[in-house]
Chain A
Amino acid sequence: MNRERRSFIGWLLGGGLAASLGSFLYPVLRFVNPPEVPEAAVNEVVAGKVQDLKPNSGRIVKFGSRPVLLIRTIQDEWKAFSAVCTHLNCTVQYREDSRQIWCACHNGYYDLSGMVVSGPPPRPLEGYLVHVRGDEVVIARRT
């Protein structure tokens, strides 16, 4: 009887302690997890003037909070891809010498349709639409 009572009190105290710890830890864990900050949905951005980018070159354009690589090919075609490498999140660049997209971090190459040519990237780059309106270049999200 005495042992049962001791065991009951032990469980009660242990349970109370665990509940107290839980009630301290839960807000701490929620606090360290950053809140989702809603972003305004961006569907298209003006990337600049046609004459700003010469053929066989590329540059990074801000698309909302994401970097997008805008390329003007040597054949004077316009292309745009997410500039975030699918391997480990580095920002890619256009290489004029090889006419490919290159990630300097782990030496990954993509062709001008965003497909992986060599190196460790596991997936192709996400493509964007490019429209030329007058002398303005507009990048738009694919629907």
Chain B
Amino acid sequence: MLSSESGPPGRTRAARLRAWLDERLGLTGVRQFLAHKTVAVHSGTPWYYFGGITLFLFAIQVLTGILLLLYYRPTAAEAYESVQFIVTRVRFGWLIRSIHSWSANLMIFTAFVHMFSVVFLRAYRRPREVTWLSGIALLGLALAFGFSGYLLPWNTISYFATKVGTDMAASVPWVGPALARFLRGGNDVSGATLTRFFGFHVAVLPGITTVVLLVHLALVQRFGISSPPWVERRSAASRLPVPQMPFFPNFFLRELMAWYAALGALGCLAALFPWELGDKADPFSSAPAGIRPEWYFLAPFYTLKLLPSRIWFVEGELIGLAGFGLLAVFWVLLPFWAADGRGGERTRLVTGAGVVLIAYLATFSLLGYLR
């Protein structure tokens, strides 16, 4: 109970409130933890901010998503009209929707930057293999959020993107047709798919993401932020510890500045380039010329466009999908093949794989956008 009589005499009301909360919430432990938590200072430190920026953009996604839920109606007959209502009739509806779409794209971009910074700063090394796996799972979930959310406005582009995407799922050996039926809620993309994707987007994926995100953050806390091996080597050679900065308030305030910059960029993009709605999906119209998926699916899209109908006696599409599958497995298992088993690291191989992957994604995405 909080009363002016409780606590030693002479203490201010704020101090008494702090003591009251501390007794019930154990804030001293948190304060002590934060006081001892440090972050390594070296030339790669700025890359550490991208994980936090991704988290910040995810929080914006959740908040704007909840606001959009107040007006959105997930049926084939009403979805497009409800989004049209949001962007034309609801006050600041265009801005909320635009922020939701732009922050989704920026979040996937910063998640990719975070992933590649982990690769090049060697932060995936023992004992952080599970942290890497949980991060990759979060990236996969972010892409699933993007794919499921893309259909929700029920416009032409999103309709055909979902047709192509779910048909790719149908090509998976053995389980493909059942998987495609599960995703579509039937044999083809229809209103049933829209309702299903809405369920995935606002209930299933957020639930899974919350659990994986908590695991990821808990592991980052458990093992701390990794220092690159060359920084550790330099420190060992000079017999001086790696320079550190306190997490709170030094790193935390810098991270807040990064969030503020991200918010500024997001606000500018959302206000100056509002997200378009396009035309309502018509299952009995042809795919329009110039159709292409979101930028983060452009590289596989363009690769599939380039592959011929048959390579030897196998369908080109199947070869492409098998290639993407192998690439994904290779990338997910990076911490395991990066260690040579004798306590060393295959650093050149990891750097080479990272550079080749970035070059492939950048080149094919650009070509997919231009052609």
Residues of A within 8 A of B (CB): 32-34, 37, 60-62, 65, 67, 69, 83, 87-93, 103-107, 116, 119-122
Contact A107 to B305, CB < 8 A, known contacts A32-B182, A90-B160: yes
- A88, B164: Cβ atoms closer than 8 Å: yes
Indicate whether B345 reaches chain A with its CB closer than 8 angstroms.
no
Output the nearest chain B residue to A32 by Cβ-Cβ distance.
Answer: B182
B305 lies within 8 A of A103 (CB): no
The 7 closest A-B pairs by CB, nearest first: A93-B286, A89-B167, A122-B315, A104-B287, A90-B287, A106-B305, A88-B164
Contact of A120 among B163, B182, B316 (CB under 8 A): B316
Q: Which residue of B lies closest to A63 (CB)?
A: B284
Residue B334 interfacial (CB < 8 Å): no
Does chain A have a CB within 8 A of B289?
yes
Q: Is the CB of B288 within 8 A of A104?
A: yes
Q: Using Cβ atoms and an 8 Å threshold, which residues of chain A touch B9?
A: none
Given contacts A104-B288, A120-B307, contact A91 B317 (CB under 8 A): no
Show 29 residue pairs from A and B whose CB-CB distance is below 8 angstroms, ordered by the A residue.
Answer: A32-B182, A33-B181, A34-B185, A37-B186, A61-B284, A62-B284, A67-B283, A88-B163, A88-B167, A88-B317, A89-B164, A90-B163, A90-B164, A91-B163, A91-B283, A91-B284, A92-B286, A104-B286, A104-B289, A104-B291, A105-B160, A105-B164, A106-B301, A107-B305, A120-B305, A120-B306, A120-B308, A120-B317, A122-B309
A122 near B178 with CB under 8 A, answer no
Give Cα A88 to B297, complex, Å. 15
Q: What interface size band does chain B fall in?
A: 20 to 34
Q: A119-B309, A122-B309 are in contact. Are A104 and B290 (CB under 8 A)?
A: yes
Give 12 new A-B contacts, CB below 8 A, not counting A89-B166, A106-B305.
A34-B181, A34-B184, A87-B304, A88-B167, A89-B163, A91-B285, A91-B287, A104-B286, A105-B160, A120-B309, A120-B316, A122-B310
Interface residue? B192 (CB, 8 A): yes
* B143: interface (CB < 8 Å): no
Task: Verify if B263 is at the interface (C-beta below 8 Å from A).
Answer: no
* Set of chain A residues within 8 Å of B160, measured between Cβ atoms: 90-91, 105
A29 to chain B, nearest CB (A): 10
Question: Cβ of B168 < 8 Å from any Cβ of A?
Answer: yes
Main secondary structure of the interface of A (DSSP, over half): loop
Q: Output the nearest chain B residue to A65 by Cβ-Cβ distance.
A: B188
A90-B164, A120-B304 known; A33 and B290 CB under 8 Å? no
Q: Which of A37, A61, A62, A119 has the most CB of B within 10 A?
A: A119
Q: 1/0 contact trace for B141-171 toward A, CB 8 Å?
A: 0000000000000000000100110111000
A105 to B297, CA, bound (A): 13
Set of chain A residues within 8 Å of B186, measured between Cβ atoms? 34, 37
Complex Cα–Cα for A65 and B190 (A):
10
Q: In the bound complex, how far is the Cα of B287 from the Cα of A89, in angstroms?
A: 10
A120 to B164, CA, bound (A): 13
Closest to A66 in B: B188
Set of chain B residues within 8 Å of A61, measured between Cβ atoms: 284
Q: Which residue of A lies closest to B286 (CB)?
A: A93
Q: Which residue of B lies closest to A59 (CB)?
A: B286
A106 nearest in chain B by CB position:
B305
Chain B residue numbers with a CB within 8 Å of A67 are 283-284
**Which of B168, B181, B283, B288 meets A88, CB within 8 Å?**
B168
Please indicate the chain A residues that have their CB under 8 angstroms from the CB of B182 in the complex. Answer: 32-34
Chain A positions within 8 Å of B181 at CB level = 33-34
A residues in contact with B166, CB < 8 Å: 89
* Residue numbers in A under 8 Å from B289 (CB-CB): 104
C-alpha spacing A87/B315, complex, angstroms: 9
Complex Cα distance, B309 from A116, in Å, reads 9
Q: Residue on B with the closest CB to A94?
A: B286
Contacts of B167 in A (CB 8 A): 88-89
C-beta contact mask, B183-216 vs A, less than 8 Å → 1, else 0?
A: 0111010001000000000000000000000000
Contact of A87 among B178, B192, B317 (CB under 8 A): B317
Chain A, Cβ-Cβ closest to B292: A105
Residues of B26-67 contacting chain A, CB below 8 A: none
The residues of A that contact B290 with a CB separation of less than 8 Å are 104
Once the chains are docked, how many angstroms separate the CA of A118 from the CA of B315? Answer: 14
Residues of B within 8 A of A88 (CB): 163-164, 167-168, 304, 317
A105 touching B291, Cβ below 8 Å? yes
Closest partner residue, chain A, to B167 (CB atom): A89
Minimum C-beta distance from B163 to chain A (A)? 5
Which of B178, B184, B283, B304 contacts A106 (CB under 8 A)? B304
Which residues on A sit within 8 Å (CB–CB) of B288? 104
**With contact pairs A37-B186, A120-B307 given, residues A60 and B285 touching in the complex (Cβ less than 8 Å):** yes
- Residues of A contacting B164 in the complex (Cβ-Cβ under 8 angstroms): 88-90, 105
